[in-house]
Structure 1
Amino acid sequence: MSVNLIGKPLTRVDGRAKVTGAARYAADFNQPDQLYAVIVSATIGLGRVTGIESAEVERTPGVAAVIAYSNAQRLPYLPHKAVIDPAVGERLHVLQDDTVRFYGQPVAVVVADTLDHAERAAAALRISYEARRPLVDPADPRTERIAPEAADRSRGDAETAIADASVTIDEIYEIARENHNPMEPHATIAAWNGERLTLWSKSQYLVNEQAEIAAVFGLPVQNVEVVCPFIGGAFGTSLRTWPHVTLAALAARHVGRPVKLVLTRKQMFFTTGHRPRTLQRIALGATPDGKLLGVVHEGAGETSRYEQFTEALTTVTDYLYSCPNVRTQYRLVQLDTGTPNHMRGPGEASGIFALESAMDELSYKLGIDPIELRRRNEPRVDEAENKPFSSRSLMQCYELGADRFGWAQRTPEPRSMRDGRLLIGMGAATATYPAFHAPANARVRLLTDGVAEVEAAASDMGPGTYTSMTQVAAEFLGLPLEQVRFRLGRSDYPQTPSHGGSWTMASVGSAIRAACLEVQAQIARRAVEDAGSPAFRASVDDLEWSGGLLHRRGEPSSGLSYQDIVGRTGVPVEANGFAQRDPEVAERYSMHSFGAVFAEVAIDPDVGTIGVRRIVGAYGIGRVVNPLLARSQCTGGMIGGIGMALMERTVLDPRDGRPVNAHMADYLMPVNLDIPKLDALFVDEIDPHVNPLGVKGLGEIALVGTAPAIANAVFHATGKRVRTLPIQIEHVLTA
């Protein structure tokens, strides 16, 4: 029997399906008699619709319906909030009134027999507006800043400590709006059967999409089913249930046939969220030997007027370094835009850019190596919560990463390293992310042939959920990998949390473990109750499982397999598992992942082009279930960090809030030629407190520290400190 599968670098169990085209994504589930829907997006940034000339379009060949606020079904939009929804405000009620709240808001949907007919009709639809000028720039002095709940934290007197410090830093940092832009666009196919609705829909949170659409239409939750077995990348954009899902269901009900709706790349810049543009101030005060005396971190992020989107912009500063005087402040800037959304490393990635850039600035001002400065401020406990860390391996990450990167070969003076005419820079930065956990359920069913079916309503947007969950189940059942079939992507499977926040393995994996242990207990009871079983009338306490065999304690050489026990009765055995974090343990410890990221850049001093040559990341993430998949996660996060640091920026026209670069020609992202050598290392870290598997999560932290490491490398190469992301040629040439 297979054992010790956790920790093995196994290839993806779903790999063949993906490379052969057998894997089906949301838009692949075409239905009989299906129609096609195309959204018509508002071309003003604020105001109202005054008229829609639809008669001629409705007579166009193939057009089945033109649906707008004037003829759309009035939906109840019952209250519904999930953990990923803004706590304050109300989601967009699509096609329920004539108000336009932001550019690109859906104002109509055209349904036709082919996609071509629907697109042509949508383009021909004439809509008139009463327009007002929107406010879309968070730096505009006319904007209002509001404080969300628990926005400010403080210990000691940070202002006085900084004022009295012998060495200080006080700077402003800015990060542009980013859009997720995964390979697979948002897509939903909706089909009604009476009052029952099936959605084949791209979703990172199936049970929430089920509950959200049930609330929108006033249906019992069990009347909605969501199916999503594969996701072609998401990075947070599919965590929420956006208006297009409602529109697909609304259109399908309106025409009485299944409807397919796929967003265009341009529309994905309008209504499916984005990383908010942020403005931050960091002030540091330190002693001449580098001990932090005071830290102030003030941050502001954009949000829509109808919802208050919040993220963890300033929370890292509370616990990352030892300092007796810390004040953090977080504000929201209400704008006439769509609501932002969680994007990989949400909040932490933005906040840590400002903090780690400031720490790098402080290191140069003090003449102390950047890693040594962090070592001198390494805390013994989480000073914000006054709790011990469940585990903290930041310094081990720096040691491991510095050795692999060759940090010792770096000369500390800016502009001191060259490769021919190119300026070479090396930078480092800390990464961290909370070790989250959420209640989760799973089901294990052992069939008469000894095969185990494992089910959970989770998602897989690319990190390898199918594979890693199969490894966990096979490990605890003692079965070969090929005898375990893991299924996800259906809302009627056991409920799980969202596929985001780096908590899928911690939560769902722990639930699968619990289900495996429970099904083994049930089978053991069946064995001792079966008169034909060698274990008949034995005490369950005298039996144990090892390598997929049930045997008497101390007698591992002989035992009964699952097939032996289940096959005798011909009745499969099924068990459910549930896992949640012990609240007492959660209260006792501060739980986070940590990492250290190193970057090398080469800059042409004449034209200012910046090339990333290599990145090394070392991470303390608890137990690593699959090192091959984990390294893939890390390199993907690093690539996202390159984009954040040097390329990604959504630009809005101040006149109407239109994203002027809502296409892949001008919204720049790293491509193959931009990808340098990427290396990911893992500290051998054991954390028994976070969950039964000892895992901390990896997807978010891999992006978090990359942008500041690159920015710090740019300073080392040029001597010019750029405090705005993305760093552009003009910053290097004119800073």
Structure 2
Amino acid sequence: MNHCKQDAPDERNVLDTTGQGVIGAPLPRPESLLKVTGAATYASEYEAEGCLEGVLATLPAVRARNLTIDDSKAMAMPGVVAVISDKRMTGRAAQGMADEAPFQPAQEVCYWGQPVALVVAETFEQARDAAKHLVFDYDAEDAPLDPEAAETETDDSTTQGDLAHAMAEAAHSVDVTFTTEGHASAAMEPHAAMAQWDGNKLTVHASLQMLKFNRNELADALGLEKEQVHLLSPFVGGGFGSKLGISQECVAASLAAMQLERPVRVVMSRQQVFQTIMRRSETHQRVRLAADAEGKLTGFGHEARVSNLPGEDFAEPVIQSSEFLYAGENRLLRLDLARVHRMTAGSVRAPGEAVGVQTVEQAMDMLAEKVGIDPVELRLRNIPETHPSEDKPFSSRKLAECLREGAKAFGWEARPRAPRHTCEGEWWIGTGMASGARVHAVEEAKARVTLQPDGTALVESDMTDIGTGTYAILGQIAGEMLGLSPDDIEVRLGDTDLPPGSGSGGSFGAPSCGSAVFLACEGLRDDLAKRLGIAAGDFTLKDGTVKWDGGEKSLVDLLDSKPLEQVGHFEPGKSTEEMAVSSFGAFFAEVAVNRWTGETRVRRMTGAFGIGRVLNARTARSQCLGGMTWCIGNALTESLLFDPVDGHLVNCDLAEYHVPVHRDVPDLEVLLLEERDAAASPIQAKGVGELGLCGGAGAIANAIYDACGARVFAYPMSPDKVLAAMPEG
């Protein structure tokens, strides 16, 4: 095993010295043909002889005790095999990375739509019909539903200097309040699981992101040893945080399979996914900025209130990039958590920054207008030299380059903002920009790489590919290190029988599991060097051939009919603790706003991103495109809406929860600013999957103001809000 705990920056840049030339290349995903032809098998598509179908039944109550279920009518219906109401499957969805079962409160039902039973039948239609005939009896109780009125507790706070004094003495200041509605992950593949029990071992095909944790969570929920649980998730149709932890369908399918001794499949309906699975919390945010006459920040304040169920630890980390994005010696950062009875709040793509950075960026635009300088220039003047809250150095800081290169590519006109400068028919045209930032994280990961006697290689890890391109980039890292074409490398993922990877989440998958593959290949290179009697750095591997001073030999001959195997083990260390490691970006948007209806159309958008080493230009660009598309939804359309009387989610499907569609998304331009961040990971790469939506909605908001003069402080900025904020005339 080749193990590395990264306690110091890795300045070797090994991948810049290899010879294959595939790292960073825009190669296609090796599994793409399977996906576009429908041959890639997802969790609900596995077949098992005698498989039963389960449908979750949910309770239409916000808070209830003493629940009893009369299943006599359901059990009398054709094809119905069982009604199971085990409390272990009716808990909350797990946040993920917990290693234990989801939280089980004493309160039996804590939010409207919580699953309380599983109806199992020979066919899905029979189970679905029978679930509607369950009769519930319970004691309903009042519950706080409104975050504005609920009790709150402080989750996080940072205070430096005296912000109130800085605001009072500032030449220019901004004090503004924003609200954002909650968001759903809305992954294309619904939550699904198919479980089989052989009397000792449970095998579950599931749609999950973090298998090494998910196995422990499921084992704990069922009272099994983790060795008795085998999870398989080779293909996951999107997660965005909603599949970080196990949820009710996974536990329910497993319990039913163990009880009935037959395979059981449970697939959530789209409505159940919306009603039951993790939501991004709504937010209430106050941003205060104090600046001198030249626009240099002297005070920075960002306070937010978010919500979650009683008993849950997670609080949407709205202020986490505000810790380091801009300077200002007088600082107040605070996060409050309100306890309400809505479904569990948890990680949705880019938790924190996805809704926090955009508000700061809107306030910065307002400050630029007061100072009378270009918004890009204001940001350039306020980039801190060191982490302003912790006074430690940045490992790298690409924000200035992202601002300048993004502005150049977009054709940004450097000027103070003057709304309503351009009108085309009934459409006001405007541009806006925003900085982007996302914290960097890495997690422990292992991967096994085997050089086969025929000169090909096998890469194995329980790491998942949730549509991000993991199969491609792990193959490219191995190909670059071993001198092989990615076509000669097989990558196996999503199986807990394989070495435990980092899992997919928090943008840490590529730098973490990629580093594990890198380390395994480094071990193999050392083994090959020993066979040749030379130092590991004294040869070149390319196209299946080893070359060194004095000779060359094919890998096939060097292996001599015997496989060669190494396991790479990566652990985070002090390098990410002693330095501020983050990703940065910049967004530029042009919008058209209808002067009569308030409708907003994004006409073009540019994003520039510094993400460390680019592992695959195509998949990285795709991730940024996806993030920028989320920015459009965040800015204009997406919101979870709850009934104030009974707390049920009103818009629980894709007909009423409006994600951007093709007509909403123009051609998007992505600039990847290559860098080497030696503190970020052994492969000098940082996460890319979440940075693309951290701030871009603010650029759209600022463009709306530049177009028509409407400052909208409530996201999403729907036509009615734009019209209400639009000046007369």
The residue identity in structure 2 corresponding to 1:563 is: V
Is 2:541 the partner of 1:546? yes
Correspondence for 1:580: 571
Distance in 2 (alpha carbons) for counterparts of 1:588 and 1:55:
62
* Corresponding residue SS for 2:145: coil
Is 2:125 the partner of 1:135? no
Distance in 2 (alpha carbons) for counterparts of 1:13 and 1:86:
32
Contact 2:19/2:540 (CA < 8 Å) preserved in 1? Answer: no
Correspondence for 2:198: 193
- Among 59, 76, 101, the alignment partner of 1:42 is 59
Contact 2:97/2:213 (CA < 8 Å) preserved in 1? Answer: no
Distance in 2 (alpha carbons) for counterparts of 1:520 and 1:541:
6
Correspondence for 1:436: 441
Question: What are the within-5 Å matches in structure 2 for residues 286-365 of structure 1?
Answer: 286-365=291-370
Correspondence for 1:562: 555
Residue 306 of structure 1: how far off its partner (Å): 2.5
Contact 1:544/1:550 (CA < 8 Å) preserved in 2? Answer: no
Correspondence for 2:153: 146
Distance in 1 (alpha carbons) for counterparts of 2:137 and 2:95:
36
* Aligned residues between the structures: 707
Residue 410 of structure 1: how far off its partner (Å): 6.8
* Corresponding residue SS for 1:618: strand
Is 2:185 the partner of 1:180? yes
* Corresponding residue SS for 1:560: strand
Distance in 1 (alpha carbons) for counterparts of 2:154 and 2:160:
19
Contact 1:397/1:683 (CA < 8 Å) preserved in 2? Answer: yes
Correspondence for 2:257: 252
Contact 1:49/1:100 (CA < 8 Å) preserved in 2? Answer: no
Correspondence for 1:472: 477
* Corresponding residue SS for 1:614: strand
Point out the more displaced range, 196-205 or 348-357. 348-357
Distance in 2 (alpha carbons) for counterparts of 1:387 and 1:589:
6
Residue 688 of structure 1: how far off its partner (Å): 2.1
Is 2:40 the partner of 1:33? no
Distance in 1 (alpha carbons) for counterparts of 2:637 and 2:700:
12
Contact 1:134/1:656 (CA < 8 Å) preserved in 2? Answer: no
Residue 56 of structure 1: how far off its partner (Å): 2.0
The residue identity in structure 1 corresponding to 2:117 is: A
- Among 30, 40, 48, the alignment partner of 1:13 is 30
* Corresponding residue SS for 2:41: coil
Correspondence for 1:108: 117
The residue identity in structure 1 corresponding to 2:104 is: H
Distance in 2 (alpha carbons) for counterparts of 1:561 and 1:524:
13
Correspondence for 2:612: 622
Superposed CA RMSD: 2.2
The residue identity in structure 1 corresponding to 2:151 is: E
Name the TM-score, length of structure 2 as normaliser: 0.93
Distance in 1 (alpha carbons) for counterparts of 2:469 and 2:547:
37
Distance in 1 (alpha carbons) for counterparts of 2:706 and 2:440:
32
- Among 706, 709, 723, the alignment partner of 1:733 is 723
Distance in 1 (alpha carbons) for counterparts of 2:515 and 2:675:
18
Distance in 2 (alpha carbons) for counterparts of 1:684 and 1:265:
39
Distance in 2 (alpha carbons) for counterparts of 1:599 and 1:203:
34
Correspondence for 1:639: 629
Correspondence for 1:226: 231
Distance in 2 (alpha carbons) for counterparts of 1:540 and 1:86:
42
Go from structure 1 to structure 2 and tell me whether the alpha carbon gap of 1:410 and 1:264 turns closer, same or farther (over 3 Å shift).
farther
Correspondence for 1:122: 131
Contact 2:285/2:302 (CA < 8 Å) preserved in 1? Answer: yes
Distance in 1 (alpha carbons) for counterparts of 2:224 and 2:528:
39
Residue 156 of structure 1: how far off its partner (Å): 1.6
* Corresponding residue SS for 1:270: helix
Summarize deviations over 1:251-310 as a string: whole Å, max 9, x none: 111211110000000001122101111111111111121111111111111111131212
Distance in 2 (alpha carbons) for counterparts of 1:161 and 1:627:
44
Distance in 1 (alpha carbons) for counterparts of 2:199 and 2:138:
37
Residue 7 of structure 1: how far off its partner (Å): 1.5
Distance in 2 (alpha carbons) for counterparts of 1:396 and 1:523:
41
Question: What are the within-5 Å matches in structure 2 for residues 215-614 of structure 1?
Answer: 215-408=220-413, 412-525=417-530, 527=531, 535=532, 538=533, 544-547=539-542, 553-555=548-550, 558-566=551-559, 568=560, 570-583=561-574, 585-614=575-604
Distance in 2 (alpha carbons) for counterparts of 1:191 and 1:725:
44
The residue identity in structure 2 corresponding to 1:616 is: T
Unaligned runs of 5+ in 2: 1-17
Contact 2:89/2:252 (CA < 8 Å) preserved in 1? Answer: no
* Corresponding residue SS for 1:522: helix
Correspondence for 2:9: none
Summarize deviations over 1:55-74 as a string: whole Å, max 9, x none: 12112110000112xxx387
Contact 1:345/1:703 (CA < 8 Å) preserved in 2? Answer: yes
Percent of residue pairs identical: 37
Correspondence for 2:10: none
Contact 2:547/2:553 (CA < 8 Å) preserved in 1? Answer: no
Go from structure 1 to structure 2 and tell me whether the alpha carbon gap of 1:411 and 1:146 turns closer, same or farther (over 3 Å shift).
closer
Correspondence for 1:701: 691
Residue 481 of structure 1: how far off its partner (Å): 1.4
Contact 1:281/1:299 (CA < 8 Å) preserved in 2? Answer: yes
- Among 627, 643, 653, the alignment partner of 1:663 is 653
The residue identity in structure 1 corresponding to 2:554 is: S
Distance in 2 (alpha carbons) for counterparts of 1:279 and 1:19:
42
* Corresponding residue SS for 2:280: coil
Residue 657 of structure 1: how far off its partner (Å): 1.1
Residue 411 of structure 1: how far off its partner (Å): 7.1
Summarize deviations over 1:524-558 as a string: whole Å, max 9, x none: 44x3xxxxxxx5xx456796343266757423xx3
Go from structure 1 to structure 2 and tell me whether the alpha carbon gap of 1:75 and 1:631 turns closer, same or farther (over 3 Å shift).
closer
Contact 2:589/2:700 (CA < 8 Å) preserved in 1? Answer: yes
Summarize deviations over 1:372-401 as a string: whole Å, max 9, x none: 111111211112121111111111111111
Point out the more displaced range, 590-599 or 308-317. 308-317
Summarize deviations over 1:402-457 as a string: whole Å, max 9, x none: 11111117772011122232101111011111221112111011111111000011
Residue 668 of structure 1: how far off its partner (Å): 0.8
Go from structure 1 to structure 2 and tell me whether the alpha carbon gap of 1:82 and 1:715 turns closer, same or farther (over 3 Å shift).
closer
Summarize deviations over 1:75-120 as a string: whole Å, max 9, x none: 999xx99874499xx83439xx772111111111100000010001
Summarize deviations over 1:544-597 as a string: whole Å, max 9, x none: 343266757423xx322221122x3x33221111122341x2233211110000
Correspondence for 2:11: none
Distance in 2 (alpha carbons) for counterparts of 1:301 and 1:167:
29
* Corresponding residue SS for 2:270: coil
Contact 1:439/1:497 (CA < 8 Å) preserved in 2? Answer: yes
Distance in 2 (alpha carbons) for counterparts of 1:224 and 1:48:
32
Contact 1:410/1:426 (CA < 8 Å) preserved in 2? Answer: no
Distance in 2 (alpha carbons) for counterparts of 1:665 and 1:73:
32
Distance in 2 (alpha carbons) for counterparts of 1:268 and 1:541:
51
Unaligned runs of 5+ in 1: 528-534
Distance in 1 (alpha carbons) for counterparts of 2:382 and 2:544:
51
* Corresponding residue SS for 1:129: strand
Contact 2:410/2:588 (CA < 8 Å) preserved in 1? Answer: yes
Residue 154 of structure 1: how far off its partner (Å): 1.7
* Corresponding residue SS for 1:226: strand
* Corresponding residue SS for 2:421: coil
